Amino acid sequence: MLMDAVSHDQVRCPNCRALQDSSDQCRRCRRDLRLLRAACSTHQQHRRNRILHLEAGELEIALGHALRCHDLHPGPDSLRLLSLCALARQEWQTALELVVMADR
């Protein structure tokens, strides 16, 4: 997993696993966390854009944003985002498979 954000204001250092408020440097090991923060920000941006494009009926663009979210932070949440895109595209079987994968 490329990201390890606990919330918008907290991250877990990928090096020493310290949980801390979002900052440019880990409080424990002094690792540079700017790339992690950028990945978190990019993920949130793609997540918001996916919603906006789904609402606008721009399904291919929404799918692109959902795929990018999955690239940045794969897991149940990203699989559910992809499932919603599949539902909007009337790809029923794909949507069902993604939800089943997310619930494992």
Amino acid at 27: R
Q: Is residue 3 part of a domain?
A: no
Q: How many CB atoms sit inside 10 A of residue 104's CB? A: 6
Q: What is the pLDDT of residues 25-69, one digit of tens each?
A: 999 999 999 998 888 889 999 999 999 999 999 999 999 999 999
Domains of the chain: total:
1
Report whether pLDDT(7) > 80.
no
Asked, for residue 68, whether it belongs to a domain, the answer is: yes
Q: Taking the CA of residue 60 as centre, how many other CA atoms within 13 Å lie in the half-sphere pointing to its CB?
A: 0
Whether 1 maps to a domain, the answer reads no
User: 93 is in which domain, residue-wise?
Assistant: 10-102
Measure the CA–CA gap between 69 and 84, rounded to whole angstroms.
Answer: 13
Residue 50 located in a structural domain: yes
Task: Tell me the CATH number at 65.
Answer: 1.25.40
47 part of a folded domain: yes
Mean pLDDT, residues 73-94: 94
Q: Is 45 contained in some domain?
A: yes
Decide if 56 is inside a domain: yes
Element (H, E) at 53: helix 34-55
| 76/70 Cα distance (integer angstroms) | 9
The verdict on residue 65 lying in a domain is yes
Q: What percent of the chain has pLDDT over 90?
A: 76
